[in-house]
């Protein structure tokens, strides 16, 4: 039985329109949904087993207002087992269930002076520093995915309009994907900045590629949890990432809830 079949058996006739992937320290955002059912990743064939604290590993089906939503609480990362395609089954399952769009969240290190910890950045593009693709080994001409508009312009405009209405500062910028699990060096951060990055992190890009391959529209938000390496005297750690993610949790919760509730209106 496939993961999609397990979910459809558990929750027949539920057709989510939007999928959401929650990053480090953001699992509590699930409380904003009117829950229909929850399924552990361990019950879903092909889903990953997240090995990072702050990633519970659970699929939650529910509603934000009238919008049916599939929420992934946690992701797998390239650095856990060297697989860029670790989220492939999960993302393709969301598409198979009926999702039209995917919203990704992550924790990231900021490069811009005006993005202090607790800031939120809407991704406009990304740079892949890993040399990896979740489509390695895929066959057929559809593996040659056009990434020129990976982050959907209409979804971005909707987020920006909602943020303006909430008097919430929503930065925009380019996210640079590094393999991890070690944090970037100051020299790597400087190089990323020269090439146009505004934030650095260890996730998200594989899911974006997989989502575009599956025909999903994509939007993504970074919570800036720290100044990137070399830009602050504070030592970097995952504990800091999780703690500082809470600085923006309320704002992200409000923004995501409004976006999901108004999706398609």
Count of other CB atoms within 10 angstroms of residue 212: 21
The confidence score (pLDDT) of residue 232 equals 52
SS (H, E, C) 89-138: HHHHHHHHHCCCEEEEEEEEEECCCCCCCCCEEEEEEEEECCCCCCCCCC
- Average pLDDT over the chain reads 89
Which percentage of the chain shows pLDDT scores above 70? 87
Could you tell me if 38 and 261 are in contact, meaning their C-beta atoms sit under 8 angstroms apart? Answer: no
pLDDT at 187 over 80: yes
Burial class (CB in 10 A: 0-12, 13-18, 19+), 9: exposed
Which percentage of the chain shows pLDDT scores above 90? 73
Could you tell me if 110 and 230 are in contact, meaning their C-beta atoms sit under 8 angstroms apart? Answer: no
Number of domains in the chain: 1
* Cis, peptide link before residue 181, omega less than 30° from 0: yes
Residue 122: which of 170, 169, 177 has the closest Cα?
170
Rounded mean pLDDT, 231-254: 65
Could you report the per-residue pLDDT of 156-182, keeping only the tens digit for each? 999 999 999 999 999 999 999 999 899
Count the alpha carbons within 13 Å of 71 in the hemisphere toward its beta carbon: 30
Alpha-carbon distance 99 to 106, whole Å?
20
Rounded mean pLDDT, 102-124: 93
- Residue 131 sits in which domain range? 3-261
Of the ranges 32-41, 45-54, 203-212, the best mean pLDDT one: 203-212
In this structure, what CATH number is given to the domain that contains residue 40?
A: 3.40.50.1580
């Amino acid at each position: 039985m496939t993961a999609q079949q397990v979910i459809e058996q558990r929750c027949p006739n539920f057709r989510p329109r939007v999928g959401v992937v929650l990053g480090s320290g953001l699992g509590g955002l699930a409380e904003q949904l009117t829950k229909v059912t929850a399924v552990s990743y361990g019950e879903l064939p092909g889903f990953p087993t997240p090995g990072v604290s702050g990633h519970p590993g659970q699929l939650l089906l529910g509603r934000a207002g009238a919008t049916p939503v599939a929420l992934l609480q946690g992701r797998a990362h390239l650095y856990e087992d060297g697989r860029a395609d670790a989220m492939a089954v999960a993302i393709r399952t969301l598409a198979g269930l009926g999702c039209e769009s995917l919203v990704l969240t992550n924790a990231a290190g900021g490069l811009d002076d005006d993005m202090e910890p607790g800031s939120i950045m809407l991704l406009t593009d990304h740079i892949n520093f890993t040399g990896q693709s979740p489509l390695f080994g895929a066959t057929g001409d559809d593996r040659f995915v056009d990434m020129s508009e990976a982050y959907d312009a209409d979804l971005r405009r909707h987020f920006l309009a909602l943020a303006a209405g909430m008097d919430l500062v929503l930065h925009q910028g380019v996210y640079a994907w590094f393999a991890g699990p070690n944090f970037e060096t100051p020299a790597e951060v400087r190089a990323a900045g020269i090439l146009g990055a505004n934030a650095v992190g260890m996730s998200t890009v594989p899911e974006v590629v997989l989502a575009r391959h599956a025909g999903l529209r994509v939007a993504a938000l970074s919570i800036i949890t720290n100044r990137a390496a070399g830009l602050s005297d504070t030592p970097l750690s995952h504990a800091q990432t999780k703690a500082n993610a809470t600085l923006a949790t309320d704002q992200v919760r409000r923004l995501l809830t409004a976006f999901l509730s108004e999706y398609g209106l």
